[in-house]
A and B are shown apart, each in its own frame.
Chain A
Amino acid sequence: MGTLKAMSASNSIPLHKLVEGLSPTRLRRTLRLGWRSLWLHRLRSLLTVLGIVFGVCSVIAMLAIGEGASYEAQEQIKNLGSQNIILRSTKPPEEQKPTDKGSQSSVLQYGITYPDVHRIRSTIPGVSVVLPARNIREYVWHISRRVDCEVVGTVPWYPEMRNHQVAQGRFFSDADMQERRSVCVLGAEMVPSLFPMESPLGKHVRVAGNYYQVIGVMEPSSRVGKTEEPQESGRTILNRMFIPLETAKLRYGEVLMRRRSGSFEAERVQLHEVTIKVSSLENVPGVADAVRTVLERNHKKKDYEIVVPLELLKRAERTKQIFNIVLGSIAAISLLVGGIGIMNIMLASVTERTREIGIRRALGARRHDIISQFLVETVLLSGVGGVLGVLLGIAIPFIVTYAAGMKTIVTLWAPLLAFTISAMVGVIFGIYPAFRAASMDPVEALRHE
């Protein structure tokens, strides 16, 4: 009966009294007292804190790994150029398997053609630059060193369009192109294997019996995984060598002979890759649709693919959002579990310390003194858990980066968010036990064994 009356009275404790109970000097003593009480049950407190530690640190670590992964994906897509649309020639699916084994006399013709490029350039508004490229798989030789490489016949404005700059020397010029000079620019990845001791500039490399003078070396490509760029062979090709498109036409003509699984296979492909630069970002979706329509009208088979980096980027951003929502839910649940742990322990502690509460009340403690005492304890538990969790959560991404080589990014808001939530969990889950402690009837509490 007495307890019931007390319970209803305790609900009307005004907030300012709670705050008044926590003036700086008072707070310091309350904190020390809370720490002492928690220290008395070290193991119990530690286990309770662990619930919060794991909650907080998993949030930060997962966010950091997720952020790193999506950053990498977005960087790769951005390297393709967000204003670009990339067309690639692909072998049409029904002709991928040879109909009969042995020699095949027919020449397989597919892919994007020069007329396609002309049509796109002349009919679709908003297209500012078109970058055609022919890719030929060849071995590149320097003396006795050999590298498997993709020879790319392209135009002088390749570097600026693909956001892939020359690191040493220069890219080929319009004059190189017109005069069909035998010059080449090497990808950074192949230089160490071809020229381990010397600078490649000015040297010559041999490709299929022809010599090309090296005039430049590209900077290392940041495209590592290339997951969103399916290669024709399904294999990742890192090595690329660039030669003028006109030179490529001269050297290779239109028909390519390719040795595959014991038989020769001839393909006629005019252009392997065409990059279209759109004048402004907001025109990209429209131009992409127009390009699709133009190509669909002129190709009976699906012998090309269209990659729109902007669409990939948007998709990656959506994926990241979903990822964050999922993560947020996991975080919320784990912190909830931690909070329930705190509440459980505090309720046990309140029951166990009923006598102490009675003594304090008899000696002049008001209800809000008891409330602040227990609230401070829960806030200490979750605060210490939060700090440890943040430290661990920042350390784990570094370990992951070091051990697994994965990129991780710890954003500022992740630890802040995790810590704030953990502190809030402490307050929210501490309120009920604290009020329960304060609503005890002093007479009953003193009689408690």
Chain B
Amino acid sequence: MADPILQFRNVQKTYQMGEVRVHALRGITFDIFPGDYISIMGPSGCGKSTLLNVLGCLDRPTSGNYLLGGEDVSGMDDDALSAVRGSRLGFVFQSYNLIQQLTVLENIEIPLYYQGKPEDETRERARVLATKVGLADRLDHKPFELSGGQQQRVAIARALVNDPLLILADEPTGNLDSVSGVEILRLFDELNSQGKTLIIVTHDTTVSLRASRSIRLRDGNIESDVRQ
């Protein structure tokens, strides 16, 4: 097996909520390899969101190490973390999180914009990806002119635009009807078959069944980590 692209070493995250210390992550250790298709499941309050935030470099672990692509990101400052997010990670959210005043193309190219790539290059790449997710005829539409499934496909194209090491999806089908949900999941399957590494946080067992590796969390610990 190839080298892991992501390594968690005893990662802990503690919040101080007034008098109480909340242990959201109690020492998590796992590796993720290229081409993994992982679902993360667990009841509410088990630390899913915290894990996702730490994985997504939106939050720093209280202790432990997080190596992404061989680089320790757990002690990085805010600017460096922004750069990591922009260049190594792709995000897909439950509520799509597209920027309303921008067109489909412009939404897709945001990560490249913040990396300072020239406009003609980002435009071209955004166009290719929009076509890939089946939105070639919607390039200049605004998000509110699109259906939920289409909006999520824009978000997926945006998550692919910077060619990330890892795509993080947070309940990507949570806001969709079953038909569009299945379409989105098929798109994920297809991406994985092309070698993309995916992590999907979900409540939905049908989603987790498509994944090749299923991680269950409980009370800030990994309850199970199964390859299927």
Residues of A participating in the B interface, judged by any CB pair closer than 8 Å: 1-2, 6, 9, 17, 25-26, 29, 36-37, 40, 355-356, 358-367, 369, 442-443, 446
Contacts and interface: CB of A to CB of B under 8 A. Distances in A.
A363 B85 contact: yes
22 contacts: A9-B78, A17-B79, A25-B118, A29-B119, A37-B101, A40-B101, A358-B97, A359-B97, A362-B91, A363-B110, A363-B114, A363-B158, A364-B83, A364-B87, A364-B110, A364-B115, A365-B86, A365-B114, A366-B78, A366-B79, A446-B93, A446-B97
Interface string B52-72: 010010110000000000000
Interface string B97-133: 1111110000000110111101100000000000000
Contact of A361 (B82, B100, B101, B116): B82
Interface residues of B, number: 32
Interface of B: 15-16, 53, 56, 58-59, 77-79, 82-83, 85-87, 91, 93, 97-102, 110-111, 113-116, 118-119, 158, 162
B58 A443 contact: yes
Nearest to A353: B99
Given A356-B99, A443-B59, 5 more contacts: A25-B118, A359-B99, A361-B58, A362-B85, A367-B79
Contacts of B110: 359-360, 363-364
A359 B99 CA distance: 8
Nearest to A438: B78
Contacts of A365: 82, 86, 114
B53 A363 contact: no
Contacts of B158: 363
A356 B101 CA distance: 10
A339 to B, nearest CB: 25
Nearest to B113: A29
A9 B59 CA distance: 15
Contacts of A6: 78
A366 B82 contact: yes
Contacts of B101: 36-37, 40
B58 A362 contact: yes
Contact of B86 (A25, A37, A364): A364
Contacts of B16: 1
Contacts of B85: 361-364
> Which of A17, A362, A364, A367 has the most B CB atoms < 10 Å from its CB?
A364
B83 A366 contact: yes
A61 B98 CA distance: 46
Nearest to B115: A364
A151 to B, nearest CB: 79
